[in-house]
Amino acid sequence: MTSPDESRIDPAVVATLYLDYADELRAFLVGVLRDRDAAGEALQATFTKAMEAGHTARRETLKGWLFRVAYNEAMALRRRQKIHAKSLEKLGWHRTREQETPDDNVSRGETISKVRAALDVLSEEQKEVVRLRIYEEMTFAAIAECLDLPLGTVLTRMRLALKKLQREVHEDETGT
């Protein structure tokens, strides 16, 4: 895993780590930072740190190590740029398709096809709540008011829909 001088991780290992985990790490960083540019910056810093200090992590824990480094980088970046307050004002982080790389599109295309199949499993009521919450960006309270439903019903529909979506999309990874 390490280079002959034992001071640095083998760059080939870092490249493999990038291929295996970059998409998931980027999604995690986007979820924390709510800003795609900042997430990209934190991802770059994470792999820079992997090059410098990856040899200190055990191979079986490398994924967890990368996520922890990514989390620390995200928190440091948030403190530096104070982007948290900005993100609370506007949550437009998932509409930056033009900034994505071709690799992003390929990996996302697979997820999209899975989600398309998963949406067919949902009831019409669940689909409506999913659309209003995720695409229309309405709060749960606003959805409840719009559909004239109790808030608890809206939350339950969303929760059931999310469970089905996650199961359909990630069943290969979890082996279920």
Pair of tokens at residue 58: 């055990």
- Residue 133, phi-psi category: left (phi > 0), alpha (psi -120 to 50), beta (remainder): alpha
Q: Which of residues 84-113 bind other proteins (CB under 8 A)?
A: 88-92, 94-95, 97, 108, 111-112
Pair of tokens at residue 131: 């659309």
State the nearest-atom distance from the C-beta of 162 to other proteins, in Å: 6
Q: Say whether residue 51 binds other proteins (CB under 8 A).
A: no
State the nearest-atom distance from the C-beta of 134 to other proteins, in Å: 5
Alpha carbon distance 7, 23 (integer Å): 27
Q: Say whether residue 59 binds other proteins (CB under 8 A).
A: no
Evaluate whether 118 touches 86 at the Cβ level (below 8 Å). Answer: no
Residue 9 φ/ψ, nearest 5 degrees: -75, 150
Q: Say whether residue 77 binds other proteins (CB under 8 A).
A: no
Cβ neighbours of residue 31 closer than 8 Å, sequence gap 6 or more: none
State the nearest-atom distance from the C-beta of 95 to other proteins, in Å: 4
Positions that interact with other proteins (CB under 8 A) = 23-25, 27-28, 30-32, 34, 63-64, 67-68, 71-72, 88-92, 94-95, 97, 108, 111-112, 114-116, 119, 125, 130-131, 133-140, 142, 149-150, 153, 156-160, 162-163, 165-166, 169-170
